[in-house]
Each structure stands twice: as C-alpha cells, then as structure tokens.
Structure 1
Amino acid sequence: MKNSGVLSRARTVAAPGFNRWLVPPCALAIHLCIGMAYGFSVFWLPLSHAIGISDPVACPNLSLLGALTTTTCDWRVSDLVWTYTLFFVVLGAAAAIWGGWLERAGPRKAGVVAAFCWCGGMGIAAIGVSLHQLWLIWLGSGVIGGIGLGLGYISPVSTLIKWFPDRRGMATGMAIMGFGGGAMIGGPLADLLMKHFASATGVGVWQTFLVLASGYFVFMMAGAIGYRVPADGWAPAGWTPPASADSAISRFNVALSDAHRTPQFWLVWLVLFCNVSASIGIIGIASPMVQELFGGRLIDAPGIVFTAFDDDQKKAAAAVGAGFVGAISLFNIGGRFFWAWLSDRIGRKPLFATILAAGALLYGVAAPALAGTTLGLFILVFCVLASMYGGGFATAPAYLADLFGTKYVGAIHGRLLTAWSTAGVVGPLLVANMRDGRIAAGIPRDQVYQPIFWVLAAMLVCGFVADLFVRPVAAKFHMAADDTPLAVEPAVAADGPATSGTAPIVALAWLAVALPILWGVYMTLSKALILLK
C-alpha cells in the first residue's frame, strides 16, 4: 500500500484544529464490539441442543476430538467453552506478536484488520454452526476472532495516551470500559435475536452470529477510520511534561526490544497476573457461588440447602444469581473508568497498591465472614472486587506509559497482555478444581468457598509486594532523544479538513456509542434489581 493510502499511518496525522475528544468514541466503538467475547456464554446452552432442538442428542462416549467433527451428536457445554479459552489465549498472543507492527502501521490499519478478523471469525463460526462443525467455531471465533480481539484491544492504547498525556488513566479507562461493556450490550441483544430466529428446526444461533457480525463490522470500521494521531510535538494547551527527573512519569522512552529486559516490565506483569487470576475465576462461577453459599435465604426459605431445592426454587435462586452477575458486571465496567481516573490523581503505583491491598482484605477477611450470613454486604464486597478487577485492566496501559514512555506503549501493552491470557487459564482452573475437589470430598456447599477466598487473597498479597518493588526504569534503557527506529512514513495532511473534529461531529460520535451503552445498562439493571426485592 502506498504511503498516501487511506490506511497508512501518515494519513492519520490530525490536521490543525482537530478535537481530541473524537478519539475516545472511536476507541469505544471498537471495544464495545469485541467486548462481546465476554458474553459468548449466552450461546452455550442453545448450541448444546442445536441438533435435538428441544432435547439434546447426547453421545456418552464422545471424546473432545470426536466433538470437533461430529454431525450427529449435540455438543457439550464443556466442548463449547474452549472457544472462550481460545479467545483470551489468542488475544494475548496476537497482541504480543503484532504489537510492534501496530506501532508502525498505526491504529487505523490495525483497527480495520481487527474488524475483518473479529467479524469474519464470527462469520466462519456461523458456517460452523450451520454445518455442525465445532472445529470451525474454534477456528473462526476462537483463533481468527481472537486475533481481532488482540489487535482491537490494543489499537487505541498508544493513540489515546498520546492525545491525553495529561489524563492517561482517564483516557484508557474510557476505552477499556467499553471492552467490559461489550457483553452488557451484546449478551441481551444476542438473546433477543436467537429468540427471533429460533424455529422448530433450529435454535437461531448462526443467524444471530451473522447479524451481530454485520453490525459490529459497521461500528468497528467507523471507529477505525475515525482514528487520528497527534502531530509530533503536539501537547494539550497549557500542559507541559513533568520536569523532575525522579517523577513517577518518565520523560524518556524505552524501546520495545528493551522493555522485557527490565525488571519493571515483569513486576507489572506479575501485578496484572495476580489481580486478574484472583478475580476472573470467581467471577466465572458467581451465580452458583451465591446460590450455594446462601441456599434458601435467597428465596425467603431459610434452612433449605441448595441441593434440596425443587424446580421452582432453583428457578427463583437462578434469577437471584443472574441479578448478582448483572450487578458485578456493572461494577466491573464502572470500575474501569473510576479507578483509572483516580490513578491520574494519586499515581499508578499507589492506585495498584490500594486495590491489591483492599482486595486481599475483602477476599481474606470480609468474604469468609459474610458468606452465608449477610447477603447484601456479601454482594457489595464482590461488586467492589469486580470494580477493582476492571480498574486494574484500565490502569495498566497508563502505568506502562509512565514507566516506558509513550512511543512503544501499545506494543509493550500487547506483550503485557500475556499476563491476562495466563491468568485467564490459571484463575478459572484454580477455582474450579478447588471447588470441585471440596464438593467431591463431601464438604457442605455453604462451606466450600472459604479456603478459595484465602488463596485468592494470598495471590493479591503477592501482587501488592510486586507493586512495591516497581521503580523508575534505569537510565541505560532510555532511548536517545533523536532515536527514531520506527521509520514512520513522512507525515502528510490528515484526511478531511481541519474541522473534521468539531463539536457537532464529536457530539454525534459520542451519541452513537452512548445509546447502546445506555440500553445495555438498562437491560443489566433490570436483572440486577431482583436483588432489591
């Protein structure tokens, strides 16, 4: 592609007068779409009876390898959830592998590739559902879609940090809040679409995949084309970089090839790994956890244990569990913005120390003490924990920019996301194995979780200690001021006139992302309000 091509990095350099507040809704447009990865669980039950429709066609001796190609047996949920694992393993790998390319190519080209991979992957998955070939779902949504997730997730990071050097945490918090909110919108929408397309001969999943992919493609392409990067030397009016050499915000850049050689990178990697591992596993079983711990107290039938529920009681308890998950989702999303915003005021290192220490206390003391006793306070504890889980994600890019500078922060963040991928496997396995082992040992359901809480608290303590050891990067890793190894194409005028980011356009862009978010909040609140009844 020529240097003047519409996707070239040079063509994304903003013209004079561009309004930087147009960039966050572009980032949100992409993150709200790829965030549906969190909501894919809405498809598992319908897909588990895609052949039998009303009653699953079970094959007791079916192996995982056999499930990949069978056309006569319904898939088990355990077969399908491997797609979810692939999402986040491939996300981390893709972000690490192509992060450097993203910095050279620019956010627009990376956003377009992300749109083709994420939406094209859903299209391949739709073919897999229609042909009943699980390997196509894994390949489409899991692998190809996972690449789209990785590129889409990191594409706005360095861009937003460059536009908002004065508000790094807030800027990345806004975008990454969208990733957490994607399932809040996509989950209920997918449920409505499946009900619309369901028939006597199908469960409506492949049609839903195609509709979602089409809508997501439009939103993601609009966001990618809307990306702009500031011209070299640009700074917000009235803002100057920190002058102190010992400032928590570095005045220097560290090359991508050197970042992983510093202890700071691996300390932040460990901080993120511990924060994610301690939360992602427990959030994944939030609904059964609250039902098992509180039993009949959830449905005004104290004294009845979870295993003694009849069908009606199970439905009532499941509704409360769904409300609990909805409340956690809202706090996870809100925490991504709140904690990242707060980090601009108190600093990234103190922010992580705060959420890790508070999380360890909540897991280690509050959760075990409240389990099975005070439902309202127990729910509040886990809502706060979910907010800090999301806040850690949103603050990590700004932490990296403070330590390593802004030049390669997108690529460095891509490599850091391997901590997320690793935690996405370790956390759920740890929690699930401990839970299943204690249940198999005959431990009453309301006593299963206390040791799990203590182990998760210990993980957060490890993250807290790692955060304490973070110091400014040694001078030997600083790049020379005139070092430009990116070999970026010469800047040309950005697409469109200087007024392309004026107030009416900015307002319309924000409205386009705000309306789906408000609808998702309404749908989630409608489920969470059952907790107040």
Structure 2
Amino acid sequence: MAENGTRSTGILDRAGTIAGPSYNRWLLPPCALAIHLCIGMAYGFSVFWLPLSRAIGITDPVLCEGISLVQALSTKTCDWRVSDLVWTYTLFFVVLGASAALWGGWLERAGPRKAGVVAAFCWCGGMAISAVGVSIHQLWLVWIGSGVIGGIGLGLGYISPVSTLIKWFPDRRGMATGMAIMGFGGGAMIGSPLADWLMKQFSSATSVGVWQTFLVLAAGYFVFMMAGAFGYRVPPEGWAPAGWQAPPVTSTTLMSRFNVHLNDAHRTPQFWLIWTVLLLNVSASIGIIGVASPMLQEIFGGRLIDAPGVLFTAFDDDQKKAAAAIGAGFVGMISLFNIGGRFFWASFSDRLGRKRLFAVILAASAILYGFAAPSLAGGSIGLFILVFCLLASMYGGGFATVPAYLADVFGTKFVGAIHGRLLTAWSTAGVVGPLLVAYIRDGRIAAGVPRDQVYQPIYLILAAMLVVGFVANLLIKPVDARFHMADEAPAVPTASAVGAGHGGGVSIAVVLAWAAVCIPIAWGVYMTVMKASVLLR
C-alpha cells in the first residue's frame, strides 16, 4: 500500500501500462505479433499427430483393435489413433472462443499486459503439461494441457492486443489489427518446420522426440510472449495522432462517435449480423482448406504428376508420394495467401471502409465458389490453384478486418471484449464448416461418384452461404442511439482531444522490436516457399 492509503499501481495493472510521452506507437504491433506468432502454432499441431500415433511402437504404431476413445485417454499399452489426437485441435478452438467470450470483459478492466502474461502461462504451461502427458503416455493430460489450458491461453492471447491496437491506430485500424492477426495465421508457418526439426534431433530408439519438443517450444514461446506482454502500453485517455480527424459517419464507414457497453452490444441487431457474416465467411473456407491437399489430388489425378489419364484411385505408391508432395505445396501456397490476405485486405479496409470491404470479399468469394471453381475442376491446374489462393486470402482478410469493423460500429471502449464474444462465431464455424464438407464429400464417395466430380456441389453450397453473408452485411447500419453510453468521452477522439507525442519515427528500440518478429517470419516464409516450389516444377 502507498503511504497515503491508496493502492499502489502494480507492474501488471492497466494504470501501470499507460504510455509516457516518449513512447512510440510503432512498438506495439511487434509486441502483438510476438504473442500471436506463438499461439498461432495451434494451427500447426498436426505436425505432431503421426509421431504421436507411434509413440510406443516408435517405428510402427502399436494398435489395439476395438479400443474406444474413453479407453484411449488412459491406455499405456496402445498407441493413440490420429482420430484420438485431433480432438486436441477441436478443443483449441472451442475453448478459444469460450474463453475470449467469458474473460473479454475482464481483459478490458485488467489491461492487455496482465492478459498477455496470463496467456503466456496458460499456452506455455499447457504445452508443458502435454509434454508430461506424452512422456507417461496419458492422452487426457494432453487434452487438458494443450486443449483446455492452452485453449484459454489462445483466447486471451488472441484478443489481448485488439483494443489497444485500435486505440493507438484510430487512423489505421484495419492495418493495425491486420498485422497482429496476420501473426496468428503465420504461427504455424514458423512453428511447424521448427517442431519437425526438433523432433528429428530428439528422436531415438526409445522416443519419437515429441515431449522434448513440447518443452523446448514452451520455453521459447514463454520468452517471446512475456516480452510481448511487457511491451504493451495503452494510450492516454483521448489520445489521437497529431492532425488526425475522424471521417464523417455514413452508412458505409459506420465509424461511430459513441461507445456501446459490453452488456448492450449483444442486444443490438448489428452484433448478430456481424456474427453471421463471420460465421458464414469462415465456414465457407475453413472446411475446404482442411481438405485442400486431397481435393487437388482427387480432382486432377495423374495430371499433377505427368501421368494424364491415371485416376487418383489408381495411383501406385510412388505416384501417391509424388502427388502428396504437390498437395503439400498447394497447402503451402494457401497458407501464404491466407497470411498475406490478413494484412492486405485489413489495410485496404482503411481506405475502402469495413462494410464495403466485406461486401467485396463476400461477393468475390461467392463468385469464385459458384462459378470459377466448378468450371475449373478438371481444367487448368494453375487457374484452379489461383482461385483457391484468392479464396484463402479473403478468408484471412475477413478475420483480420472484423476487430476494426466492431470498433467502427460499437466504439473502442469495449471492443476487445465484444470481439471476444464474437469469436464464438469462429468456434461454431470450426465445427460447421469441416463437418459440412466432410459429410458431403464422404457421402458422395460412398455413393460411387468419381473423385473428380465429388466437390462441385460443395462449392455451390459454400457460394450460397457467402451470398447469405453478403445480405447480412448489407443490413448493418449504425447502432440505434438508445444503446449509446451516456456521459462518456467520444469513442473517436476529436481534434481537441488530440495529444502530443507517441506518433512514430525510427529508433533503435523500434528497429530491434521489428527485427525480433520479422526474422522468424522471414524464415517461415522461406520454408513455406520451398515447400510450395514443387508446384513450379
């Protein structure tokens, strides 16, 4: 306690993170990237599935016929099936959405630094618990460690910088959130090849090297995430860049001058319309991206490997390996466009407006799914690949633009918490999209439909979903005045509230901060390009 009886400000408290006059706002994006690049490894956990499926047998899985999922959770004598392990991936994104929704309000009160620290302990601590689970061969510990505790870290880490970035960059909301959320999409691009290399170093006659890799990654991620969390600063109340004034409110810009309280946001039709837009945009792409490699191989068959006329189902072992390499390159290209689209489309929304941007990506995606993809199936391989790369870029762009859209509609005061609740649409889409695609695909294969004709009805259904999203986006209007918070400072700073300092400029600290995140990103891009280069051969 302070001498005057008031509570002293702790290092993690929000009040202790208010920026001083010399703080450079360009230090914040690399801090956000440091956290998002680490938690983004959730997308890359599939690199562990095959090694873990032979954790006991080492070279070949020790299979136990008839073992149930419940039995697999605690068995010490049978290797886990991939279908048992992928539940960890499902838990990631269900818990991410739930934790972001539940604790988003706390984050706004506690501040981004405290939330970032908690996220680091949960994500890295969960990975360490998973390492224990792998070492003693207990799947339930992997589920609890990475799936549940790590999932909480995902949720808090994902939303921790959103509100702060938007407040530091009212003039470039889309670009700021696009940079951070680009990091989440790029986390696996760095983590997956790194994990693969580490497992090779740790593998032996008695171990596949996974639990050791978990511990090394957890330690490295913890350092990066803590550095990012302690780098967070919030701007002084009412701060805005010198000379900047908010654009006028129109039906297309929607940049509200007022804040909407967290407890009122979900009572507005705007919240549920944006929720629907995110749900449908994500559902339409997340399922098809999940089957991108087999889809390419099944549709084009032998044409991928200079064996025209050979169907996918007639491949021999060597042809399967060659086609799988092409499929992996396709996935790599999709990953790069997904990441780049997060920054490009979100930044473009600063010029075009968020509502117009979503209208563009939803309409374009519907056209590509409804007309281009079906007509190119079995046609030009290059154009087919380009279509799905563009779709991946718009899928990522929708993710990255949503936080700025919410700030435009509901103000900045509770945007982090509102964004957290909106992420339940992502969790829902993570179930709906893959199940829809898998159900139709498996059903058509079981009905004897030729593999190169399996996907066309799926494309049309996804196009229809995007059309519904397009209509939902058109219906979004400014929030009714009865939901505006009374006696509050304006959501968008006015000219009289513009503060001095914080604007920018290059310093050693800024250069070092950006180098710390750009070097790993560059390495990840290089590794992904090397994988995708097989498409050019």
TM-score (norm 1): 0.96
- For 1:280, the equivalent position in structure 2 comes to 286
Contact conserved, 1:13 with 1:230, CA < 8 A, in 2? yes
Assess if the C-alpha contact under 8 Å between 2:242 and 2:503 holds in 1: no
Question: Are residue 506 (structure 1) and residue 502 (structure 2) matched?
Answer: no
Aligned amino acid, residue 521 of structure 1: V
1:165-314 → structure 2 map (5 Å cutoff): 165-244=170-249, 248-314=254-320
Following superposition of structure 1 onto structure 2, how do residues 30-429 of structure 1 map, counting pairs within 5 Å?
30-244=35-249, 248-429=254-435
Q: Does 1:4 align with 2:9?
A: yes
Tell me by how many angstroms 1:501 deviates.
9.4
Alignment-derived partner of residue 494 in structure 1: none
Cα distance, 1:500 vs structure 2 = 12
- Residue 240 of structure 1 deviates from its aligned partner by 1.8
Query: Aligned-pair distance for 1:359?
Result: 0.4
Distance, in Å, in 2 between the alignment partners of 1:482 and 1:403 is 16
2:452 counterpart of 1:451: no
Q: Is the 8 A contact 1:18 1:501 kept in 2?
A: no
Q: Distance in 2 between matches of 1:511 and 1:155?
A: 22
Q: CA deviation at 1:480?
A: 1.4
Give 1:345 deviation, angstroms: 0.5
Partner Cα distance (1:341, 1:12) in 2: 27
**C-alpha distance after superposition, 1:310-341 (max 9, x if no partner):** 11100000000000000000000000000000
In the alignment, residue 237 of structure 2 is paired with which amino acid? D
CA distance in 2, matches of 1:53, 1:107: 43
Question: Amino acid of the residue matched to residue 177 of structure 1?
Answer: M
Aligned length: 521
- 2:297 and 2:367 map into 1 onto residues whose CA distance is 23
Q: Provide, for residues 93-119 of structure 1, a one-character-per-residue CA deviation record: whole Å limited to 9, x for no partner.
A: 000000000000000000000000000
Structure 2: any 5+ residue segments left out of the alignment?
A: 2-6, 491-500
Q: Give the equivalent residue in structure 1 for 2:527.
A: 523
Task: Note if contact 2:93-2:151 (Cα within 8 Å) is conserved in structure 1.
Answer: yes
TM-aligned CA deviation for residue 481 of structure 1:
3.3
Distance 2:141 2:467 in 1: 41
Give 2:519's aligned amino acid. Answer: L
Q: For residues 469-521 of structure 1, what are the alpha-carbon distances to aligned partners after superposition, in whole Å with 9 as ceiling and x for unaligned?
A: 0000000000113379xxxxxxxxxxxx9999971101100000000000000
Query: Residue 118 of structure 1 contacts residue 148 of structure 1 at CA under 8 Å; is this kept in 2?
Result: yes
CA distance 1:498–1:230, change in 2 (3 Å): closer
Q: Give the distance between the partners of 2:55 and 2:467, measured in 1 at CA.
A: 45
TM-score (norm 2): 0.95
Counterpart position of 1:479 = 485
Could you say if the C-alpha distance between residues 381 and 17 of structure 1 is closer, same or farther in structure 2, counting changes exceeding 3 Å? same
Instruction: State the secondary structure of the residue aligned to 2:201.
Output: helix
Is contact 2:258–2:410 with CA below 8 Å preserved after alignment? yes
Superposed CA deviations along residues 285-307 of structure 1, whole A, max 9, x for unmatched, are: 11111011110000000000111
Name stretches of at least 5 consecutive residues in structure 1 with no aligned partner: 485-496
The whole-number CA distance in structure 2 between the counterparts of 1:20 and 1:347 is: 23
Shift of 1:55: 1.0
Using the TM superposition, give the Cα deviation of residue 372 of structure 1 relative to its aligned residue in structure 2, in angstroms: 1.8
Q: What percent identity do the matched residue pairs reach?
A: 79
Q: Structure 2 CA distance, aligned partners of 1:39 and 1:249?
A: 36
Shift of 1:243: 4.9
Q: Could you say if the C-alpha distance between residues 165 and 418 of structure 1 is closer, same or farther in structure 2, counting changes exceeding 3 Å?
A: same
* Alignment check: 8 A CA contact 1:174 1:336 kept: yes
C-alpha change, 1:405 and 1:134, in structure 2 (3 Å) is: same
For residue 242 of structure 1, report the CA deviation from its aligned partner.
Answer: 3.5
Q: Distance in 2 between matches of 1:335 and 1:153?
A: 18
Between 1:70-79 and 1:262-271, the stretch displaced more is 70-79
Alpha carbons 1:39, 1:184 under 8 Å: kept: yes
The 4+ residue runs of structure 1 with deviation greater than 4 A are 243-247, 497-502
Gap change, CA 1:332 and 1:499, over 3 Å in 2: closer
Does the CA contact (< 8 Å) of 1:18 and 1:502 recur in 2? no
Amino acid at match of 1:189: L
